[in-house]
Amino acid sequence: MATLAPPRAARRSATRAHAPPAWLAGAGALVALVGLLPIAYLIILAAGAGDDAAALVVRDRTLGVLSRTLVLAATVTAASVLVGVPLAWLTSRSDLPGRRWWVVLTVLPLVVPSYLGGYAIVAAFGPRGALQSLLEPLGVARLPELYGFPGAALALTLFSFPYVVLSVRGALLRSDPAFEEVSRSLGRGPWRTFLTVTLPLLRPAIAAGALLVALYSLADFGAVSLLQFDSFTRAIYVQYRSSFDPTLAAVLALMLVACTAAILLAESRLRGRGRYHRSGGGAARPAPVVRLGMWRWPALALCALVTGLSVILPVGTIAFWLARGVAAGEPLSFVWDAALNSVVASSLAAALAVLASIPVAVLAVRHRGVVGSLVERATYAGFALPGIVIGLAFVFMAARYLPWIYQT
């Protein structure tokens, strides 16, 4: 059964009793400092903006871009949760046909770059896209415009909902079915049990996945640029390219950091401080498989629709234009050097990310306290920044203080 968390004094005592060792706190602090480097760079730049910084912040156009960006992030996050939670439950708790395949297919959209996904959506559903070509003999002269907010929201949702699927599915696989069984034994039906027992247990996992989706939406540049949506990342890029003085762009980027801080605070409030403990003996066991019955066909249709739009559509678009180009006589030129560089860079980045995440995760889970919370939150700080800002930050720091790694 679930019990309440221990009193606050007991939690503080437990935290002091499990204070992190110095080497672990130092490793986590080092990772946090590296993650905060882009923000330090932005503060240094923005300090030279003077009165222009305040004028830029309160400008009507800046506030308009800020509001549109926040609405886009909120819409994409809500849509990703609505799509991701059912998919996570279907692939972990139900007898969905081909469930092992759907486990893989529902996370494959993460390998599709957002700009490629945006291009595929325009090529398929745009005013002169493939769907328009098919419907033209039926008298459809022009499809509605996808550019702007609708297209950007659709693209970002299709290629970021797997963050919610991964976190919620992991929580479902780890959760103890005894909580749900007690609810059913008290006369509650399956839907009421899910809403009052399962969903509250999934709240931390949903909040974690929603946090990643929100930060991804704030930082995305490819999809919003292709779909001509004026977001903060696009405004920062235009400011960097159109001005020889990057200080005003740094001010815009700091506003994006402030949005990130607000999202982190909201996620912390949503996740709450509640803890769940077993009050009796025994160990958690796997949850029984739920038979869908007649609902398996709508479930299959949902999985097929989401996978078709997020995986098959971009891959099919690339294959279509490749085949069309080859048929027209275009030569195939393979950029092996660029492919090798991508593999090497991504492999090194993945290895470094895993090594850096270990001390942060241990601090956040095993040594909950001020140090662990600060380190964990600091690592999210740069996730919402556009790549151009992070790149310029490291160029700035390396050229001045670490010249031996510059341009390597």
CB 224 within 8 A of CB 157: no
Please identify which residue in the block is written with the tokens 């140090």.
371
- For residue 282, give both structure tokens: 């025994």
What's the confidence (pLDDT) of residue 65? 86
- Predicted local confidence at residue 245, as pLDDT: 61
CB-based contacts of 97: which residues, under 8 Å, 6+ apart? 296, 300
Q: Cα dihedral angle (341, 344, 347, 348), rounded to 10 degrees? A: -110
pLDDT attached to residue 41? 81
Task: Look at 64-68, 197-201, 280-284 and tell me which has the smallest mean pLDDT.
Answer: 280-284
In this prediction, residues 132-150 reach a mean pLDDT of: 75
pLDDT per residue as tens digits for the range 23-41? 888 888 899 888 888 888 8
pLDDT band at 120 (very low <50, low <70, confident <90, very high): confident
Backbone phi, psi, residue 277, to 5°: -135, 150
Mean per-residue pLDDT, 226-248: 78
Task: Please tell me which residue, 388 or 154, carries the higher pLDDT value.
Answer: 154
**20-24, 202-206, 266-270, 289-293: which range is least confident on average?**
266-270
For 388-400, the pLDDT digits (tens) are 778 777 877 787 7
Indicate if the pLDDT at residue 292 is higher than 50: yes
Amino acid 300: pLDDT: 93
Phi and psi based region of residue 283 (left: phi greater than 0; alpha: psi -120 to 50; beta: remaining): beta
Question: Is it the case that residue 273 has pLDDT exceeding 70?
Answer: no
Q: Averaged over 243-269, what is the pLDDT?
A: 78
Q: Contacts by 169-172 with C-beta closer than 8 Å and gap 24+?
A: 169/88, 169/91, 169/92, 169/103, 170/205, 171/201, 171/202, 171/204, 171/205, 172/88, 172/89, 172/92, 172/93, 172/202, 172/287
CA 27 vs CA 33, 34, 250, 400: distances in Å: 10, 11, 29, 24
pLDDT of residue 303: 93
Mean pLDDT of the chain: 82
Which whole-number Å values give the CA distances from 388 to 221, 253, 294, 299, 381, in the listed order? 10, 10, 50, 40, 15
Least reliable range by pLDDT among 105-114, 268-277, 306-315: 268-277
54, pLDDT greater than 80: no
